[in-house]
Amino acid sequence: MPALPSRVLVALLAALAAILPAPALAWGKTGHRVVAQVADARLTPRARRAVKAILGVETLAEAANWPDTMKSDPSPFWQRQASPWHYVTVPTGKSYAEVGAPPEGDAVTALTRFRATLSDGHAPLAERQAALRFVVHLVGDLHQPLHTGNGTDRGGNDRKVTFFGRATNLHTVWDSGLVDDEQLSFTELSTWLGARITRAEARDWAATDPRVWIAESAALRDRIYPAAGQDALSYAYVYENTPRMELQLEKGGVRLAAYLNQLFAQRRR
């Protein structure tokens, strides 16, 4: 069979990409940047200097989506080793302390790994850059409630729904559907959300233990599934769940800042 002309091959690949479902990425690009931007405004001077020393001119918002972007890298590290690091699995009625991490690891074990790298002042710069980008990303992941999966439907990926008439799944609705429905840039959304966080809320939310975040996400996860037979999601679902989504972005930003502030305050020189 003769090889297809390059222009025909490109057209076929583009058509195929258009009909295949996109991989689920927690919060999508906008949500991850919002979490990072909210956090950036709450860094201590010491943490800000440490971030600058590691990332240079790259901002936390720029760094936030790097681990998802790198999922396209065909190397075994990205395709196998790093793939399970974006989520945890906690069945309904269980706690993370009860189930723990699987042998291949999860978001909690990845955070422990990258925190150790960032705490080591002698670690190579490239390793610290990768570690910081992962920390920014994974804190965001753990505040997307469907990245604390129940172990039955791949974090809502197998729960098929329509969103304003478009066939999709529940995970994607929470990754990007609700956020993008706002029709705001990440800077607009982060500015609005950040401005309404009170001092009392920031103090109450500033938990740096991932198990606290996971427990909250699991409790929220079990409330956001539509009832059986009610899988056509539109205005009513957006009305009920947009405040929940925004709260998770706010908490994620506050906690990312608290996590980095604590980490860099304790870092060994």
DSSP codes, 90-108: --TT--HHHH---TT--HH
What pLDDT score does 25 carry?
A: 58
What pLDDT score does 268 carry?
A: 54
Q: What is the 3-state secondary structure (H, E, C) of 38-79?
A: HHHCCCCHHHHHHHHHHHCCCCHHHHCCHHHHHHHCCCHHHH
The angle formed by the CA atoms of residues 226, 32 and 231, to the nearest 5 degrees, is: 15
103's CB contacts (< 8 A; 6+ apart) are: none
CA atoms within 13 A on the CB side of 143: 30
Distance from CA of residue 20 to its chain's centroid?
22
H or E stretch covering 138: helix 125-141
Task: Residue count of the chain, please give it.
Answer: 269
What pLDDT score does 266 carry?
A: 77
> Distance between CA 111 and CA 256 in Å, rounded?
12
* 91 within a domain of the structure (yes/no): yes
* 11 within a domain of the structure (yes/no): no
119's CB contacts (< 8 A; 6+ apart) are: 263, 266, 267, 268
Reading the block at residue 41, the tokens are 């405004």
Q: Going residue by residue through the chain, which has 269 residues, state the pLDDT in tens, using 9 for 90 and above.
A: 344 344 443 343 333 333 333 344 578 999 999 999 999 999 999 999 999 999 999 999 999 999 999 999 999 999 999 999 999 999 999 999 999 999 999 999 999 999 999 999 899 999 999 999 999 999 999 999 999 999 999 999 999 999 999 999 999 999 999 999 999 999 999 999 999 999 999 999 999 999 999 999 999 999 999 998 999 999 999 999 999 999 999 999 999 999 999 999 975 55
Place of tokens 């196998």: 80
Cα→Cα distances 142→1, 69, 208, Å: 49, 18, 12
Q: Which of 33, 39, 67, 87 is nearest to 263 (CA)?
A: 39
* 39 within a domain of the structure (yes/no): yes
* 7 within a domain of the structure (yes/no): no
Place of tokens 């999601």: 233
What pLDDT score does 159 carry?
A: 97
What is the layout of strands, in order, in the sheet containing 160-163? 166-169, 160-163, 232-233
Q: Which 3 state secondary structure label does DSSP give 144?
A: coil
What's the helix, strand, coil split of the chain in %, to 5? 65, 5, 30
Reading the block at residue 105, the tokens are 């690891």
What pLDDT score does 26 carry?
A: 72
* 42 within a domain of the structure (yes/no): yes
Domain membership of residue 84 as a residue range: 23-266
* 4 within a domain of the structure (yes/no): no
Q: What are phi and psi of 148, to 5 degrees?
A: -105, 85
What pLDDT score does 51 carry?
A: 98
> Distance between CA 204 and CA 51 in Å, rounded?
25
CATH of the domain at 59: 1.10.575.10
> Distance between CA 21 and CA 169 in Å, rounded?
10
* 2 within a domain of the structure (yes/no): no
What pLDDT score does 8 carry?
A: 40
Q: How many folded domains does the chain comprise?
A: 1
* 3 within a domain of the structure (yes/no): no
